[in-house]
Amino acid sequence: MKTNKKPLTIIVIVFALELILVGILGIVFRNNINMIYNDIETGELQDINQVKEECIELRKTVNILLTTIMGLYVVTTIFLTIYLSKMVIYPYKKMLESREKKEKAEETEIKTKLLHMSEGIIAFDINGKIDLINPAAKLLLKISPEDFTFEDIFNKFKLNLNMEKLIYLEELASLEQRIEVEDKTVKVLFSPFRNEETNKPEGIIAVIQDITENVQLDTMRKEFVADVSHELKTPITTIMGYADTLLEGEYDKKTEKEFLNVISSEARRMARLVTDLLDLSRLDNNKKRIKKTSFDLGDLAKECTQKLAIETKKKGHSVECFVTADVPPVYADKDDIQRVILNILTNSIKYTPDGGNIKIYVGFVYSDAYIKIIDNGIGIPEEDLNRIFERFYRVDKSRSREMGGTGLGLSIAKEILDKNGGSIDLKSKVNEGTEVVVKIPTK
Ligand code: ADP
């Protein structure tokens, strides 16, 4: 801050002037008194009237000097007051005001942050009364307007907890509790807080976090591990069973071949499962690099039908492919999209009784090209439709296994399309058929 020093200099000069004047006044006064005294001593002043006159003269001079000094004193006092109020009191007041403003702004900021935090915060005083609570806490713990205390809030969750237990937790210690609130799981972290000077406990802070998603993910992960183990266990048990039987007995060539066929097909199923799992894991960890290129979706659809010609023929299905003219090239990872089409087509072939009809349409809407695969197979019950893209979800487990399915085809397709900016939709009716629409962006 730039301060103006001029007024201070003037005040100092005037003060110095006043001192000089006081000095002059003293000297004048002393000299005159001396003069009068000497004059009386030497006898020059004998007449009392003369002495009086000299004294009056002296008084006049002193009066003038005194008035000047007083005037200067008043002026400097005024200036000094103005200067001090301008340079010291006013800035000090301003500093206090700005500090207050800053504190208020900080308080407002904290309040706003608390208000908009996704975590819930509740501060209880030493008696368990709510001191502060934010909306997230009310929402997460379903707190009603009648809840005012620690007990009001937490007693309904039947926690083996009370204020005393928490208040006397060791310094820097906290206690974590998981609570089920309707369909949500929340984690509450209780920590006592102390007075900074006396170190006496003053209350408890509860931080509430919604961990529903984490719990769900954890459950899904556990289920996935269980599913994988189960899926692998079935073919392994079959392979071991048939191999042991072959080793233990003497069988004719035909039976041996049958057993070996089972072993081979189960081993292949395991291999498919492991490949699917590896693909999923690569997609999950973003390890698979997506190489986007422009290509023709109609051509790819035709290639895929040719790749599956043997399976189609085996089941006696008819497959027709209709491609709308002028479909712009799609922009995606070609191998990925081929995988998606093959998965959907394989399903249509698998889940359609022999001699079925499979129709493929390729066209475009707005900036997306689409491929629609329609079959007249067994269809999917309505209640299963919203879970069909989950890993290992199958309408009929044994039928899927019989058909060589891993239960991962549609989830891989969805994952791939998510990564390529596309989408997948499935409609189905039991005993009527299934329609799957895949949309892929064009460049
Ligand atoms: P799977 O390897 O078992 O075929 P998917 O993830 O590809 O696994 O499909 C999941 C389940 O959805 C299948 O087990 C099957 O029950 C059902 N499904 C998929 N496509 C069709 C379809 N076109 N017709 C009837 N059911 C289907």
Residue-level pLDDT at 52:
83
Same domain, 298 and 437: yes
Ligand 1 pocket member 376 (CB < 6 A) = no
Please tell me the distance from the alpha carbon of residue 164 to that of residue 171, in angstroms, as a whole number.
14
Domain match, 185 and 236 both: no
Mutate which of 268, 317, 347 for ligand 1 pocket (most atoms within 8 A of beta carbon) = 347
CATH number at residue 201: 3.30.450.20
The pLDDT value recorded for residue 18 is: 78
Within the chain, which residues score under 50 in pLDDT?
1-2
Residues 94 and 127 in one domain: no
301/433 same-domain check: yes
- What pLDDT, on a 0 to 100 scale, did the predictor assign at position 295? 97
Q: Which of 164, 190, 210 is the last residue of a domain?
A: 210
- Domain coverage including residue 43: 6-113
Amino acid sitting at position 76: T
291: CA distance to ligand 1 center in Å?
28
Q: Judge whether 1 lies within some domain.
A: no
Residue closest by Cα to atom 25 of ligand 1: 379
Q: How far apart are CA 186 and CA 136, in angstroms?
A: 12
Residue nearest to atom 21 of ligand 1 (CA): 347
Same domain, 202 and 245: no
* CA 376–ligand 1 middle distance (angstroms): 14
Query: What separation in Å is there between the alpha carbon of 407 and the centre of ligand 1?
Result: 7
CATH label of the domain that carries residue 278? 1.10.287.130
The domain that contains 418 carries what CATH number?
Answer: 3.30.565.10
Residue 106, CA distances (Å) to 54, 103, 161, 173 in order? 75, 5, 34, 28
In a domain, 183, yes or no: yes
217 C-alpha to center of ligand 1: Å?
A: 24
**Do 316 and 426 fall within a single domain?**
yes
**Is residue 412 included in any domain, yes or no?**
yes
| Residue 354 counted as domain residue | yes
State if residue 388 touches ligand 1 by the CB under 6 angstroms criterion.
yes
Final residue of a structural domain among 210, 234, 250: 210
In a domain? residue 227: yes
Ligand 1 pocket member 408 (CB < 6 A): yes
Q: Report if residue 17 sits inside a domain.
A: yes
Please indicate, yes or no, whether residues 413 and 312 belong to a single structural domain of this protein.
yes
Tell me what pLDDT residue 353 has: 96
Give the residue ranges of DSSP H helices in 199-325. Answer: 212-248, 253-284, 297-307, 309-315
| CA–centroid distance for 8 within its chain | 57
Burial of 347 (0-12, 13-18, 19+ CB in 10 A): buried
Helix segments in 117-178, DSSP class H: 135-140, 150-154, 163-167
Query: From atom 2 of ligand 1, which residue's Cα is the shortest distance away?
Result: 405
Domain count, the chain: 4
Query: Ligand 1: which residue has its CA nearest to atom 19?
Result: 347
pLDDT on residue 356: 97
Rounded Cα distance between 252 and 365, Å, is 61
Sign (positive or negative) of CA dihedral 161, 212, 116, 191 = positive
Between CA 108 and CA 403 the distance in angstroms is 65
Work out the burial of residue 144: count CB atoms within 10 Å of its CB; fewer than 13 is exposed, 13-18 middle, 19 or more buried. exposed
The predicted structure's pLDDT at residue 8: 72
Pocket test for ligand 1, best of 224, 273, 319, 351 (most atoms within 8 A of CB): 351
The answer, yes or no, to whether any atom of ligand 1 lies below 6 A from the CB of 407, is yes
201-210 β-sheet, strand order: 130-133, 120-125, 201-210, 184-194, 175-181
Regarding whether 405 and 312 lie in a shared domain, the answer is: yes
Both tokens of 42, joined, read: 């030497």
Q: Residue 400 and residue 404: Cα distance in Å, rounded?
A: 6
Same domain, 48 and 11: yes
Of 257, 284, 311, at which residue does a domain stop? 284
253 occurs within a structural domain = yes
pLDDT (0 to 100) of residue 1: 45
Identify whether residues 302 and 280 lie together within a single domain: no
Taking the CA of residue 50 as centre, how many other CA atoms within 13 Å lie in the half-sphere pointing to its CB?
Answer: 10
Residue 95 and residue 125 in one domain: no
pTM exceeds cut of 0.85: no
In terms of domains, do 250 and 181 share one? no
